[in-house]
Structure 1
Amino acid sequence: MSLKKASIIIVFILLVDQISKIYIKTHFTLNEDITVFSWFKIAFVENDGMAWGTKLSDWFTFISDKTAKLALTLFRIAAVTGIGFWLVDVAKKHKPKILVFAISIIFAGALGNILDSVFYGVLFSDSHMQVAEFLPKAGGYAGVFYGKVVDMLHFPIWSGVLPEWLPIIGGKYFSFFDPVFNVADIAISTGIGILIVFNKKAFKDDSKIDRPFVESRNSLN
């Protein structure tokens, strides 16, 4: 897969991700939700930390939430920069299409969430008890690097009390699937899943493929 095709995939994912986030941010109040199906809801939440809403300050209690947020955003920028260089490298070296595709969607997803973290605090007003305003005259709800990631996809597929015969968790209330996520999260998870499931195909040894050609060429010399 060429770098041009990878770029088209990245732009497409970014557009879908950002359009969906901007729509939710400018049409929903925080924690508002709409039931589409019994197993699918549009639920507006904001994530100030990592996956599942975890914060660095939850782990490292000696740092403030603000410092933890800045550190996480800067780490994300460094990580997506590294992924970007990796993508360019594998595309130029004509690595397997599945590898280039996987890295492309991971990069797009990571960049999509970074845009929220870096710019949304400046671009939007607060969403508590009100629909956010885009480019508010009074300024945004936070500074650059302190924005929150917008999530909206919720799939409460099943909830109920688990059978008593199950060890440890038997008799307890359980809900699947609780996390709320976005298009960027889907892209990242899908890309990582592809690399795990199709590991051998994505990271196949080119030298093993080229060796018969090299040997046949040498025999002719």
Structure 2
Amino acid sequence: MIQDIKFEKVIYSDKKLVEELTKNTFEWGDYIKEVFDEWINDGLFIKAVDSNGNILGIIHAKICDDFAWLEGIRVNKNFRKKGIGKKLTEKAIELSNKRVFRLTVNEKNEPSLALVKSMGFKEIDRFYFNSGNRLDFKNIIEMYKLEQKKNIDFIFNGYVDNWVWYPFNKYKKLFYKNDQIILLQTNPPFALKGDNLEFEHISINKKENSEGFIVFELKI
């Protein structure tokens, strides 16, 4: 365990250091640099630092109406498995002033799965990301000849918009459908029904080459 860890808000001058910390998170890099400015101004963007001011890890908490969404947990590769990820999560929970916390973990990310389960998070849903062309939603409607509907006869747990999971009853927009497809107007589009969709989307159904994510919830 590292001694003398402090938790502070991430500031603009940390941007290059955060980009360096996260640049090799995935094979393709990381999305943190694209959302850095947004996270500075929205919710809680927290860093763990040592006694010399070095950034050991980061986390962001998006504050929603009745829950906090935890995301972007990153720990310096030289300081992993030392409890920093857990301490960052605990600090975000402490500062959020919420009673319900949710997050998502890639179903293949065993260390993160073990961490959230050890903290008492419970699985509440799963969804699947499908790569493809990034199309404007109007183009999707025209391409697949989708009709607007205010309601549908379809039951599901929740949906994902901008990579935040919400319960189904929070969706207030229209549904778009034909005989084979039902879409929600989210980013990326959320498919309740539909196979062989040739655009980037999230689905409730697992497909070949889709990337699975587990949604977890903690109530305190």
Same fold (TM over 0.5): no
- Classify the TM-score, shorter chain: under 0.3
The structure with the largest helix share of the pair is 1
> TM-score, normalised on structure 2?
0.20
Larger-gyration structure (1/2):
1
- Give the structure-1-normalised TM-score: 0.20
